[in-house]
Amino acid sequence: MQYRPLFQELELVDGPGNVTLQETDQNLFRSLLLNNTPLMDVRAPVEYARGAFPCAANLPLLEDVERQRIGTCYKQEGQDAAIALGHRLVQGEIRQARIERWQAWLAAHPDAWLYCFRGGLRSAIVQQWLAEAGTPCPRVPGGYKAMRQFLVETIEQASHTRPLLVIAGATGCAKTHLLRRLPEGVDLEGHARHRGSAFGALLDGQPSQIDFENALAIDLLRQEHRPGGRLVLEDESHAIGSLSVPFVLYTAMKAAPIALIEEPLDVRADTILNDYIRSNLADFERADPERAFSQFGQYLLGSLDRITRRLGGERHVELRRLMEEALATQERTGDTEAHRCWITRLLQEYYDPMYRHQLAKRLDRVVFRGNGRQFLAWAAETQDCLTA
């Protein structure tokens, strides 16, 4: 086993600048990603956690501790000592156990491909060991880095070449629900696993920034079968929870035409009640039935507390009192209607003024104005006809 080049690959984990992707490689990457082809990621777990592809499973050649020990040894004792350590760490029963683990996974995923960071020595070694064990597996050319670059370029190209339409509207206008009914819809909040507000955190947490971008890029790839067609996105700030919309896409969204959804206050309160109270409580109940209501209450109160400074002290105290009363009523009777009081006041006194201020700067971009039902009819009529 050639540990010298293997170690060199590990040291340059960030690698040099971008490479020029060949058309054949781009076609392969597109096929692998759109067909949900299983991918065996042989990088260390710490690398995988920073970002991977939706269909990838981490089955590393070197575990984090081994990778770290090789790096430390190299810095303290030099290259030859690091090579010798690498030889001791991956041999005999350890090597055999890893081969058997790879084989078991490949038996369940016979159409899989494997990759390391740059399609270099780690994936070549794994491929060679598997071939010697009678389990051949193709290797992704250029590895993670090349396919990641392909996805970054996909976002850039779509941002520059596809006409965009942004769905805007006051909080509670069911913009996300409308977006998901459109074939050309791209759900940024869905990919970010966050509803994009102080109350927007979901129980399963958010992906890494890279995983968010990779999933978004694959969604954009799926839209390529509609040549020249527009992409419809929900109006978002640059940040969705802890994640950021890619700058090139966010810039394009800020210049795109706007479809403005307008719904009465009672309809908007219904949407918030369904999405943030009933639906969220159901999520907590599925995750932990015994502590669901307590955790749900902590989520609501904590979300409100995060905007204390923006609300102002007196308003925050009053809204918190109404929320606590609604939670007490819900726990006692199961009725969620008491939440409507604080929801309505929060919309009127906090979200609506902020929304009106932001909208005033963008009225010249509005190309549609109406309720959700009217918007869906308009969107069907104008599909693939609107240019940015």
Report the helix count and the strand count for the chain, using DSSP H and E.
Answer: 20, 10
Of 180, 245, 191, which is closest to residue 215 (Cα–Cα)?
191
Give φ, ψ of 240 to 5 degrees: -120, 100
Beta bridge partners of 352: none
**In 10 A of CB 325, how many CB atoms?**
14
Q: Mark whether 73 is an active-site residue.
A: no
d(CA 100, CA 96): 6
Of 159, 200, 165, 195, which is closest to residue 177 (Cα–Cα)?
195
Amino acid at 302: G
d(CA 201, CA 299): 9
d(CA 231, CA 166): 9
Cβ–Cβ under 8 Å, residues 11 and 114: no
d(CA 81, CA 295): 52
**Helices (H), ranges, 225-287:** 247-255, 265-272, 279-287
Q: SS3 of 236, please?
A: coil
DSSP state of 117: S
Cβ–Cβ under 8 Å, residues 32 and 39: yes
d(CA 173, CA 375): 12
Amino acid at 135: T
Structure tokens at 51: 């970002």
Of 73, 116, 137, 173, which one is the catalytic site residue?
Answer: 116
Cβ–Cβ under 8 Å, residues 29 and 147: yes
DSSP state of 35: T
Phi-psi region of 227 (alpha: psi -120 to 50; beta: other; left: phi over 0): beta
By annotation, the residues acting in catalysis are 116
